[in-house]
Amino acid sequence: MSNPTPEVYEQGKGMDAHNQVMREIRSRKEASYDPHEPTRVWLDEDNTPGGVKTSLTIILNTGGCRWARAGGCTMCGYVAESVDGGSVSHDAIMDQIDVCLEHEADNADEPADLIKIYTSGSFLDEREVDAESRRAIAETFGDRERIVLESLPDFVDREKIGDFTRHGLDTDVAIGLETATDRVRHDCVNKYFDFADFEAACAEATAAAADASTDAAAGIKAYLLLKPPFLTESEAVEDMISSIERCADVEGCHTVSMNPCNVQRYTMVDELYFNDGYRPPWLWSVAHVLEETAGVDAIVVSDPVGHGSDRGPHNCGDCDDRVQTAIKDFDLRQDPTVFEQVSCDCELTWETVMSRERSFNQPLTH
């Protein structure tokens, strides 16, 4: 990753000392990336307000999240995959879209109903994806049913969402809220905005739907982080349950995605992990949260990245795949009874961690 220039720094937001250290750590990344190729693209299925849909997920290669380039979140290393120089041209972004369409044509029988576009930053930040590219992408996928776009709440406004709804596209903005608790978001995640900013973004999405000249809907998909650094397993679970309940009560937020933390390179979590100061969450914690929040007025899903690995959410190793399968089943059916089908002796160890782990002795197990 190239060294960011001073003008991208967001001084006065978050922990300046942390940001300074993280800029140095992230500058060690020497790999370079082709601005004409997407970071990743794949086909899958997702639960949406309109039912389960086939999905094409696109991670665009951009200049990177502006907050991450300033130092950023304690757990996020995606900026290390960003293009050198801090920006990508319109033509290069559209080349990436063409690559993704070719992948879909080669691997799917028909076009996906749902398009999900991420930048590992903010798609609606015009320093990452300019207005010309945003509108061209809206037109490219205007014949699909639904689109999900990733953004920090700062950049969410009804006019930008309107670029998509005017094509008749149901449009969701995925916001990395991480937690509904401001103290945890500020001190454990080093994310600068407040829950009130998330609520304001939800209001913008609701207004965009009301303003749409078509029947297209618009809403918010909240991304929450299970077990940021400095929280015990039980504290993390308690905060996640509370956060899901609070998000579900906000008008305009129809889906909550719980993301169990994994250890990414060039992050504070990575530094803690290698000094025995952090363990990713248990998969039993994921299952427990999904069971406890199954009755909220929102779709609640989780996709544990790197499950079963030391650096990802895991149990004992023997039951990880079975629990992951149950989680995936829950995502599609929203039926908590799926977790009655899985058990393992290590569940007792997890229960001990939940009851006995304290801040001074975490992690109690690995």
Q: Could you read off the pLDDT of 206-225 as tens digits, one per residue?
A: 999 999 888 999 999 999 99
pLDDT digits (tens, 9 = 90+) for 30-44: 666 789 999 999 999
Contact 340, 294 (CB under 8 A): no
Strand order in the sheet with 253-260: 40-48, 51-59, 114-118, 146-150, 170-178, 218-226, 253-260, 299-302
pLDDT at 173: 98
Give residue 80's pLDDT: 63
Q: What is the pLDDT of residue 29?
A: 66
Tokens read off for 218: 């618009």
pLDDT in tens, 274-302: 999 999 999 999 999 999 999 999 999 99
**Cα gap 53→46, rounded to integer Å:** 5
d(CA 314, CA 307): 6
In the predicted structure, residue 81 carries a pLDDT above the cut 80: no
Percentage with pLDDT > 90 across the chain = 78
pTM of the model: 0.91
